[in-house]
Structure 1
């Protein structure tokens, strides 16, 4: 059929009016190859960028190719942190970001033959900006570079303690004050013990990092004793240059994780006591006995509280007096106060020390037994336990014969 007006001709055929001569690809699809070309071009650019970035990272960290490096011993003091599990490459990147070294590779290359570099521990280090890679390696392996290390031992308390020989054993507050010290660009960063006390005596405890289950009890305590027992034995890293509040937050936040790790507060649910009371018992156990006797001392504590019977623990008398002696004098025991377990029934208002994991476990799992008394009777600290008063007196006599009591 002719179509002089060309109304029925397919505009996409190669020659005109016959369907069998129609092209296989519509005109619209002629644009697709160009679009594909653009897409593949973009993909190629992206791949090149990724490859370039990966190459740069590899060359900087692993040591291929050229790299930037400062010269000299550096300029301004700066505190950098090495976190747990970091490799040499990770440390190098940290130093690069702080402008300690010009490139990560400068540090890695300089440290290739330094075996001490693998022994760098997590913590804070005083370095300088714009150090050569070699100078940075030498600085960070120097023991004097590490700052802010705070070691809390089991049985520690907030305040200093006066030992029998007259020497002073630093408490947690004094140790934290010392850990806050560094000299940065000629200025000391030390936070005084008084500033640390003021910070926690007046602060919102929850905002400092005290666990929710402990906050209501700690708030009721005498202000200077609010944090007692809430800082568990551990090694803490605090950043010099931080203020008092920041220092407490660092320590209490880590201690809260430690408390979670030992099962607090859930481990207390079957004891008949609150988690805070379990912590108090653990602190008493810590100060009253050596580790091997912890479960038995725990049982004596449970038995006396159940009777009820006054605990009569010398450690609670000495806690207020800031001294570690085993025994107490009649005059000391006659003094009043909420921490005098010779005069008062029940537990003390707060813990009296930093309890160890073992002490907390003993407070939750006391040894089976009917003991009501104990006394340290051996020079190695071992206690003798008794059910009756008569038996206890024989143990006291033994302790005196051994020059322990």
Structure 2
């Protein structure tokens, strides 16, 4: 019977040779030292890495701060989705504050800091963290913001007091300026870029390029800038401003359904834009669906002209809807009293509501409407007799 231990036991002679072999002993000892040294080296590497990482963390979180309100002017951008830390990092990189932590620490007790909107802000160099927080939250800091509303036009319009109401292009030019920034784009430069720059490079949608290219140069971007808030970088060139604004507007047009929503209207996408702009210019939002129906009903009768006062005043840069007989007799592509069909371009910026009305007008047989209440509400008529009666009522109410 064999002992299990005997299977692994050395023979007596072999055991003696190992026990008395000095070279073998020295080799085993060296291996132990090599292993120990290798382990120590690994520990040093790991420890050094941890120490280096800790040093980096300490540096990232280091607190340095300037004193005072700062000097000069620095424009910084707050991007969509930026956290307080992101804003602090931007300010630190621009040397507005000495460190990110100077800004975030000063922000800790101010809940208003979370209400900062994306856009451009005019700051100063070397501000204390607290001064930077106070300033960026002030009305003086926000720059380059343009609020474009439905009904606005590219060109300036005559104001009732004899002055001018800035149009979209002038507003965009003005937004490139700040109180402390001498580099500004002029209204003339903005108009020139709108008239001469390549439309595709400006971001005009492919489906609108052909029609916009046919338009009179100063009208070709009309309707392609939707209402909304646009942030313009101070000091930016006219073409870059227009490219940014038109591209953002094109995204809004797409989100609103163009060009696909035109599929069931019997009109091209560009024609739907024209109808939306006429609807926007002629009525209140609550009346848009019926105004759009009047336009459709008139277009559906070959012998009937649109006869819209807004188109008469459009090339005259007048804001009012009232017209006189001499203006109505003035020939031109936008005179819908003399010409049949739609004008060649939109005549204003139009809202999503106006666009929806152009796509789906209200059901009805109306062919006439007039502003018959002082608040601008319109009355809609199916025939001339009804329309004349509403005009008399409107005059009696002092609507116009």
Instruction: Give TM class, smaller chain.
Output: 0.7 to 0.9
Q: Call closer, same or farther: CA 1:45–1:365 in 2, change over 3 Å.
A: farther
| 1:279 CA drift (Å) | 0.8
Distance 1:41 1:221, change over 3 A: farther
Could you say what the CA RMSD is over the residues aligned between the two structures, in angstroms? 2.8
Q: Which of 244, 254, 261 pairs up with 2:248?
A: 254
Between stretches 263-272 and 114-123, larger displacement belongs to 114-123
User: Which segment drifts farther, 358-367 or 93-102?
Assistant: 93-102
Q: In the alignment, is the contact (CA less than 8 A) between 2:145 and 2:230 conserved in 1?
A: yes
1:111-148 CA-to-partner distances (Å, cap 9, x unmatched) read 32334433332221111233222222232122112111
**Contact 1:151–1:234 (CA under 8 A) maintained in structure 2:** yes
Q: How far apart, in 1, do the equivalents of 2:182 and 2:15 lie?
A: 89
> 1:285 Cα shift?
0.2
What is the match of residue 212 of structure 2? Answer: 218
Pairing 1:391–2:376 present: no
* Equivalent in the alignment of 2:4: none
Deviation (angstroms), 1:325:
1.8
Shift of 1:43: 6.8
1:3 maps to none
| TM-score (normalised: structure 1) | 0.84
C-alpha contact (below 8 Å) 2:299/2:341 kept by paired residues: yes
- In the TM superposition, residue 44 of structure 1 has moved relative to its aligned partner by 6.8
Structure 1 alignment gaps of length 5 or more: 1-12, 17-26, 61-65
Structure 1 pair 301–135 and aligned structure 2 pair: CA distance change class (3 A): same
Distance apart, 1:162 and its partner CA: 1.8
C-alpha displacement at 1:272, in angstroms? 1.3
Work out whether residues 183 and 189 of structure 1, in 8 Å CA contact, stay in contact via their aligned partners in 2: no
Q: TM-score, normalised by structure 2?
A: 0.85
Q: 1:32 to 1:265 in 2, by over 3 A?
A: farther
Q: 1:353 aligns with which of 328, 338, 348?
A: 348
Structure 1 residues 33 and 182, CA gap change in structure 2 (3 angstroms): same
CA displacement at 1:398 relative to structure 2 = 2.1
Q: What CA distance in whole angstroms lies between the structure 2 residues aligned with 1:147 and 1:196?
A: 18
Q: Is the aligned partner of 1:99 residue 2:106?
A: no
* Cα distance change on mapping 1:44 and 1:280 into 2, 3 Å: farther
Task: Give the 3 Å change call, closer, same or farther, for CA 46–200 of structure 1 in structure 2.
Answer: farther
Q: 2:330 aligns with which of 335, 351, 362?
A: 335
Q: 1:393 to 1:128 in 2, by over 3 A?
A: same
Distance in 2 separating the partners of 1:191 and 1:99: 26
Residues 373, 38 of structure 1: alpha-carbon distance in 2 compared, 3 angstrom cutoff: farther
1:364 is matched with 359
Aligned pair count reads 375
After superposition, the Cα gap between the structure-2 partners of 1:49 and 1:206, relative to the gap in structure 1 and judged at 3 Å, is farther
What displacement does 1:299 show?
0.9
Taking a change above 3 Å as real, the CA distance of residues 43 and 364 of structure 1, as seen in their structure-2 partners, is farther
CA deviation digits over 1:148-178, x for unaligned, max 9? Answer: 1111111000111223443432211221122
Quick one: distance in 2 between partners of 1:45 and 1:100?
Answer: 34
Alpha-carbon distance change, 207 to 36 in structure 1, aligned in 2, over 3 angstroms: farther
Distance 2:310 2:76 in 1: 41
Once the two structures are superposed, residues 48-107 of structure 1 have per-residue CA deviations (whole angstroms, 9 ceiling, x without a partner) of 6566655654xx3xxxxx412233433442210112332222211111122211210011
Match of 1:177 in 2: 173
Q: Matched residue of 2:77: which SS?
A: strand
